[in-house]
Amino acid sequence: MAMNAGFADSADEDVPMSDINTTPLVDVMLVLLIIFLITVPVVIQSVPITLPDVRNEPTETKPENVSLTIRGGPGGTCEVYWNLIPVTNEQLLDRAVKALEDQIKKVGGVENITEENMPEVHIRGDINTPYKCIGGAVFTMQRAGFARVGFISQPPAGGPVTRL
């Protein structure tokens, strides 16, 4: 700590000192900084993840891909369409299994299935569709054996897609 004992001249004894002692202020700021450095990681709890990069990739449409459209129906029901044909959950599972079996026969067996010839599911979901409808369709398609399920979205008009 610094201390000013005054001037050696006794004539200037009653002159007020205009210097401000900033040492206590710096001490308080350092203590607060240490407290915030310790408490912020405790308050902010998050799971470490790597978010995907935002890219506007055109969807590659292959003839073997399955296109599903899902929307909420009246009374909390779910409406699922295989291309343009309405299907129930059981019909969806049957059609999905049949589509995979047909693709396996087409390529000559399970050993010939690769990443390139494996069909994908493209889901178009209405913005007001309840999660249970889309989640149920994803679960059904995965249960049937589809490994790749994607969502089709419409980017906002007038510019590139950005993620908040």
CA 49 to chain centre: 9
* CATH of segment(s) 66-152: 3.30.420.270
Say what the pLDDT of residue 37 is. 85
Number of helices (H), then strands (E), belonging to the chain: the values are 3, 5
Q: Residue ranges per domain, the chain?
A: 66-152
Say what the pLDDT of residue 93 is. 93
What is the number of other CB atoms lying within 10 angstroms of the CB of residue 33?
10
| Stronger pLDDT, 94 or 16, i.e. the higher one | 94
pLDDT in tens, 131-163: 899 899 999 999 998 888 888 776 655 555 555
Token pair 């178009």 is found at 124
